[in-house]
């Protein structure tokens, strides 16, 4: 059985490598060229297959009964962290039970609760509200005049505001939600962690995550209670009153649903938004192209999502012995889907390392594929399109004004500091 060299195996789980985009892509490119599907056993981790080719990621993602999400951790965790979570939960490898940790028969039932809400037809209802939020965010941003830190000054707050609006969280509670989300998703990044210490072991991280989940639970149980008594036209009302097979869903599952929407909905979108601005600042020809022809904005959005691929990895486990790309996968084997690698696959994308707003087709995998295909993809793309429709006509030029930094996390990551200089049109 092919084993990935130890240094590479360690690199693909190392948060520090994820904070260095060039290094990460160099590692993935090596794997695609030399060991596109092989086993890694980083120190302290159970072994897992590393899936780096676009075609193989698709193959695994669309066979949802053969490759489960619920049976083992859905995000990469070391042996100690896995054991600790199981100790906390009484055996389950998951701290929460949301769509991403479910398989059929439950998964389609839970997904159906909100699926139609997230479809483009229904989103038209919120488009006006999203544009209002975008306009306000752009106005405040331009007031900075000349130089700004794009992440803190625009990219972070805007999608958070949209998703909180949808969930019915009042603006005064948004800073708390922002903090909780970053703790849950960016917990490996020392700057974002609850405890400001640079070295934490996995037990400490798991404890921190549990505290964060408890915080979410107490917050959303109040909102749920309110929506049962005073229903409104928001997602919180759908969740608070949801039933499956005639019975209300449990508080734990409702809370998990809030968490997935609250967390999946903004760090990802803000990373892609900042990724777009970063790429435009570095590629003035692309900036001018999309400025001259705003019909390219949806192309800019898709390319920025491919380019950034904020969700770096998800895990699956095999339910039966099977074969994938000529390799024998055994029942119970764990697999890492490396979306950011698939999105630079030379066999699928022409010139994958250049940022092109007019890339067509753009069959990126940043939203996953199959039964778990991102529920919020249309919302994310709509938010980004509207933001750039509002922002680009008001900018004459944009360039980097200092060192940009990327967050250090092997799950969801993206730009965390992006100093830019701009001229107003
Ligand atoms: C650019 C932004 C986004 C990216 C790159 C992204 C990426 C992903 C990916 C890769 C998955 C697949 C998980 C898997 O296969 O196990 C996923 C699932 C999901 N996403 Fe997104 N997402 C984004 C924005 C959003 C937004 C705005 C929302 C909601 C407000 C959202 C809600 C969800 C939910 C609920 C799931 C779980 C679906 C399921 O398991 O059935 N996402 N997302």
CA of 120 to the centre of ligand 1 (A): 15
pLDDT at 197: 41
In tens, the pLDDT along 255-293 reads 888 888 888 888 899 999 999 999 999 999 999 999 999
Is 315 a pocket residue for ligand 1 (Cβ < 6 Å)? Answer: no
Is 372 a pocket residue for ligand 1 (Cβ < 6 Å)? Answer: yes
Q: Quick one: pLDDT band at residue 194, thresholds 50, 70, 90?
A: very low
Question: pTM score, two decimals?
Answer: 0.94
Q: Atom 18 of ligand 1 has which residue's CA nearest to it?
A: 374
Give CA–CA dist 199/102, Å, rounded: 32
Is 314 a pocket residue for ligand 1 (Cβ < 6 Å)? Answer: yes
pLDDT at 250: 86
CA of 196 to the centre of ligand 1 (A): 29
| Residue 198: pLDDT over 60 | no
Is 111 a pocket residue for ligand 1 (Cβ < 6 Å)? Answer: yes
CA of 285 to the centre of ligand 1 (A): 31
Is 301 a pocket residue for ligand 1 (Cβ < 6 Å)? Answer: no
In tens, the pLDDT along 25-82 reads 999 999 999 999 999 999 999 999 999 999 999 999 999 999 999 999 999 999 988 9
pLDDT at 200: 58
From 260, 264, 275, 337, the mutation candidate for ligand 1 (largest count of ligand atoms within 8 A of CB) is: 264
């Amino acid at each position: 059985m092919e084993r990935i060299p130890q240094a590479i195996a360690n690199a693909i789980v190392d948060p520090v490598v994820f904070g260095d985009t060039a290094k990460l892509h160099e590692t993935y490119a090596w794997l695609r060229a030399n060991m596109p599907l092989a086993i890694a056993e980083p120190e302290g981790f159970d072994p897992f297959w590393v899936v780096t080719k676009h075609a193989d990621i698709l193959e695994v993602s669309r066979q949802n009964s053969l490759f489960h999400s619920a049976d083992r951790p859905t995000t990469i965790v070391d042996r100690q962290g896995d054991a600790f979570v199981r100790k906390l939960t009484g055996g389950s490898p998951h701290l929460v039970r949301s769509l991403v940790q479910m398989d059929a028969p439950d998964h389609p039932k839970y997904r159906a609760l909100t699926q139609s809400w997230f479809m483009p037809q229904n989103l038209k209802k919120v488009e006006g509200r999203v544009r209002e939020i975008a306009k306000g965010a752009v106005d405040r941003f331009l007031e900075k005049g000349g130089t700004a830190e794009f992440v803190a000054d625009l990219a972070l707050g805007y999608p958070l505001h949209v998703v909180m609006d949808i969930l019915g969280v009042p603006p005064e509670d948004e800073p708390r939600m922002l903090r909780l989300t970053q703790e849950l998703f960016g917990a490996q990044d020392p700057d974002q962690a609850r405890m400001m210490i640079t070295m934490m072991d996995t037990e400490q991280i798991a404890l921190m995550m549990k505290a964060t989940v408890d915080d979410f639970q107490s917050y959303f149980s109040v909102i749920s209670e309110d929506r049962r008594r005073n229903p409104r036209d928001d997602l919180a009302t759908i969740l608070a009153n949801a039933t499956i097979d005639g019975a209300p869903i449990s508080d734990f599952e409702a809370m998990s649903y809030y968490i997935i929407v609250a967390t999946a909905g903004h760090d990802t979108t803000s990373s892609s938004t900042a990724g777009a601005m970063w790429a435009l600042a570095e590629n003035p020809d692309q900036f001018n192209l999309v400025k001259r022809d705003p019909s390219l904005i949806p192309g800019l959005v898709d390319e920025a999502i491919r380019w950034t691929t904020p969700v770096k990895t998800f895990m699956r486990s095999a339910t039966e012995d099977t074969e994938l790309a000529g390799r024998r996968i055994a029942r119970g084997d764990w697999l890492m889907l490396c979306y950011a690698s698939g999105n630079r696959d030379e066999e699928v994308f022409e010139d994958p390392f250049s940022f092109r707003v007019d890339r067509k087709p753009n069959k990126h995998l940043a939203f996953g594929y199959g039964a778990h295909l991102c529920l919020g993809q249309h919302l994310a793309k709509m938010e980004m399109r509207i933001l750039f429709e509002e922002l680009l006509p008001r900018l004459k030029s944009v360039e980097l004004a200092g060192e940009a930094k990327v967050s250090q996390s092997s799950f969801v990551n993206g730009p965390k500091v992006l100093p830019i200089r701009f001229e107003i049109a």
